[in-house]
Amino acid sequence: MISIAEKEFENVFTQTFEGDDSGDRTPRQTPGKLYSKAVPTPVAAPRLVGWSTDLAEKLEINYPSPAEVEILAGNKITSSMNPYAACYAGHQFGNWAGQLGDGRAITLGEWGSKNGIFELQLKGAGPTAYSRHADGRAVLRSSVREYLMSEAMHHLGVPTTRALALVSTGDKVLRDMFYNGNPEYEPGAIVTRVAPSFLRFGNFELLAAQRETEKLRKLVDWTIDRFFPQFMEEEDRILKWFQEVVEKTAFLMSEWQRVGFVHGVMNTDNMSILGLTIDYGPFSFLDNYDHNFTPNTTDLPGRRYAFGNQPSIGYWNLGRLANALSLLFEETEGLENVLESYEKIFWDHYYGMMSRKLGFEKVGKQEKELNSRFEKVLSVIQPDMTIFYRLLADVPPEVNPQAIKDHFRNSFYQDLSPNQEDLFTTLITDYSKMRKNNNLSEEATRDLMNRTNPRIILRNYLLHQAIEELEKGEDELFLRLQEAMAQSYAPSGFDDFIKKRPSWAETKAGCSMLSCSS
C-alpha cells in the first residue's frame, strides 16, 4: 500500500502521442492533438466525503491524509503527474458534433499496481481547452450520483469505470439544472474516476474526421498492444480487435438490460473502447418496466436512448466506429462483416441472460418463447422490475390466480385491469409449470435467479434524498447507500431500500427526469 503523494505515476499516453503542452486552457480547436495539458484549478475548502475502500485495496492505495485530499481536490499535483484533458469527437443524439474532449475531467496519470495499470482522473477539477462555454466544474449533486452509481454497477457485476473518492470543494457552482433559464448556485465537488483507460469511440472518430490516417493507425496499434495484446501479432489484428470491441459492447448492452440500467446519453463520445459503462450523467434504473423510459429530458420527445433502444444504439455507435476505422482499409467488407456479427452476439448474450433471470440454464426454443412472453406481458403490466424478479424466484410451487396476485402485489404500481390480471396470471401459471420441469432443483433455480437478479439497486429517489442530506451536512444515508450497493444480491438487509418508487418521486426533479447537466 502506498499514498497518492508518494506514488510514481506513469505517463505513457502523453509520452506516446502528440498533444498541446502549452497549458493554455482557453477553449479552442486542437487539430491533430490527442490531448492538451490541463493543470487542475484549486478549490477553497476540500473535504473528503466518500472513499471506496474496495477500489483502494485493488489499487494498493492508502486512505488519504488531509494533505493528500488536497491532491484529490486538484489543489496540488505531484512531480510525476502530467495532468491533461483528452481530445475526442463524437456523434451526439445521432448528429456529428465535431471536436469535443474532456471539458471537466483531468487525467493525472497512470497508476500501476499488482492488479494492473489504471488512469486516475479528476472530474470537476476546472476548465480545460475543451470546456467550450462551461466552467469545468461539477456540482455535488452530479458527483454523488456518479460516485455511488459507478461503484454500484461494479458490485452488480456490470463492466464499468469506477470511483475512488468524492471530495466537496467548498465552492459554489452556478448550474441551470434543466436548461430552462433558472440557474442556481450549488455546492461543488470532484470525483476521482478510475479505469484502465478512458478511450472512447470518439477518440478514433476525431482522427478519422481530420483525415489523420497515420495518427489513427498509431492510436489503434497502441490500443491493441496495451489492452488487446493477444491480437498484436495477427496480420488482421485490426479486424480481430474490432470484433472484440463488438463482443464487449454487445455484452455490456445485455448487462444493462439485465439490471434495468438506462444510461440516458449514449453518444459515441460516451462509449468505452473497453466495453465499460462510462460517463454517468442523466442515468436511472428502471422502476416500472417501461421500454420507452428515458431519464434524460434532453432525449425528449424522440426517446432515442430509451431503455428498449439501448441495444440498437450500441450497434449504431459501433457503425460510427467502423466508419472511422475504414480509413485504414482499402476494402471495407471485413469491417462490415464484423459489424454485422453484433446482432447474433447480442441476442446470444441476451437470451442466455434472460433465461438465467427466469431460472433456466439452457437456452432453447421454449426458453426463448417464454422470454418473449415475459417481455410483452411485463411491458403491459409495468411492475417494478427489480422487485418483480426477486419475487419470481420465490414464486409458490402451487399457483392459482389469487395466489399469484397476492405474491406479486408489492411489485405493482397500479391495480391491474381484468385483462391484465388474466395475461399476468396465465403467464406465471405457465412459467411455474415449465420451471417444475427444469433440469435444476428448486433450490438451485432460486440460487441462479438470485445471483442474476439484484435485490438492491440505486434508485434515483434514494440518491436524491442522500444528496439533499449531504447538502445539509448529513451523510448517514449516503454512507448507508454506499454500504448497501456492495451487497446488491444479499438475501437480507437494508429492507428500507427494497421499495417501489414513492408517488412523490414520480414528477420531482432529480427523481424521475434529469438533464445532461445531472
Nearest-angstrom CA–CA distance, 398 and 188: 55
> What residues have CB less than 8 Å from 128, skipping those under 6 apart?
25, 36, 38, 85, 101, 102, 103, 104, 105, 106, 136
Reported pTM: 0.97
Looking at the domain assignment, is residue 206 inside a domain?
yes
Judge whether 430 counts as a catalytic residue.
Answer: no
Looking at the domain assignment, is residue 512 inside a domain?
no
Given a cut of 90, is residue 194 above it in pLDDT?
yes
Q: Answer yes or no: do 283 and 176 share one domain.
A: no
Looking at the domain assignment, is residue 96 inside a domain?
yes
CA separation (Å) from 505 to 264, 307, 462, 501?
18, 19, 10, 7
pLDDT tens digits, 280-326:
999 999 999 999 999 999 999 999 999 999 999 999 999 999 999 99
* 122, 143 Cβ separation under 8 angstroms: no
For the record, the C-alpha cell of 370 comes out as 417464454
Q: Answer yes or no: do 74 and 159 share one domain.
A: yes
Backbone angles phi, psi at 261, to 5 degrees: -90, 135
Between vectors from CA 34 to CA 131 and to CA 110, what angle results, nearest 5°?
Answer: 90
Q: Answer yes or no: do 79 and 104 share one domain.
A: yes
Q: Answer yes or no: do 243 and 268 share one domain.
A: yes
Given a cut of 90, is residue 40 above it in pLDDT?
yes
Domain end: 137, 163, 198, which one? 198
Q: Report residue 517's pLDDT band, with 50, 70 and 90 as the boundaries.
A: low
Q: Answer yes or no: do 476 and 408 share one domain.
A: no
Q: Answer yes or no: do 34 and 183 share one domain.
A: yes
Domain count across the chain: 4
Nearest-angstrom CA–CA distance, 264 and 391: 27
* 516, 281 Cβ separation under 8 angstroms: yes
Q: Answer yes or no: do 36 and 95 share one domain.
A: yes
**What pLDDT, on the 0 to 100 scale, is given for residue 518?**
47
Chain centroid, CA 51 distance in Å: 19
Q: Answer yes or no: do 340 and 382 share one domain.
A: no
Q: 3-state DSSP call for residue 122?
A: strand
> What residues have CB less than 8 Å from 223, skipping those under 6 apart?
197, 199, 241, 273
Helix (H) or strand (E) holding 432, with range, is helix 418-436
Looking at the domain assignment, is residue 2 inside a domain?
no
pLDDT tens digits, 439-496:
899 999 999 999 999 999 999 999 999 999 999 999 999 999 999 999 999 999 999 9
**What pLDDT, on the 0 to 100 scale, is given for residue 410?**
97
For the record, the C-alpha cell of 184 comes out as 442556481
**Pairs from 512-515 (Cβ < 8 Å, separation ≥ 24):** 512/295, 512/460, 513/282, 513/295, 513/296, 513/297, 514/264, 514/281, 514/282, 514/283, 514/284, 514/295, 514/296, 514/297, 514/460, 515/177, 515/178, 515/179, 515/282, 515/296, 515/297, 515/298
pLDDT tens digits, 100-155:
999 999 999 999 999 999 999 999 999 999 999 899 999 999 999 999 999 999 99
Given a cut of 80, is residue 333 above it in pLDDT?
yes
* 100, 88 Cβ separation under 8 angstroms: yes
For the record, the C-alpha cell of 444 comes out as 438451485
Residue 471 sits in which domain range?
460-505
Looking at the domain assignment, is residue 340 inside a domain?
yes
Q: Answer yes or no: do 154 and 45 share one domain.
A: yes
Looking at the domain assignment, is residue 518 inside a domain?
no
Q: Answer yes or no: do 213 and 131 share one domain.
A: no
Nearest-angstrom CA–CA distance, 16 and 360: 48
Domain end: 319, 352, 385, which one? 352
Looking at the domain assignment, is residue 366 inside a domain?
no
Strands (E) across 208-338 are located at: 261-262, 284-285
CA separation (Å) from 27 to 134, 202, 249?
9, 18, 32
Looking at the domain assignment, is residue 312 inside a domain?
yes
| Whole-number percent of the chain with pLDDT over 70 | 99
Catalytic residue among 20, 102, 269, 279: 269
Q: Answer yes or no: do 100 and 152 share one domain.
A: yes
Give the residue-averaged pLDDT of 169-182. 84
Closest CA to 28 of 135, 138, 130: 130
Strands 105-113 and 95-99: unpaired
Q: Answer yes or no: do 176 and 295 share one domain.
A: no
Domain end: 138, 169, 198, which one? 198
DSSP secondary structure string for all residues of 178-205: TSSS--EEEEEEEEEEEES---BHHHHH
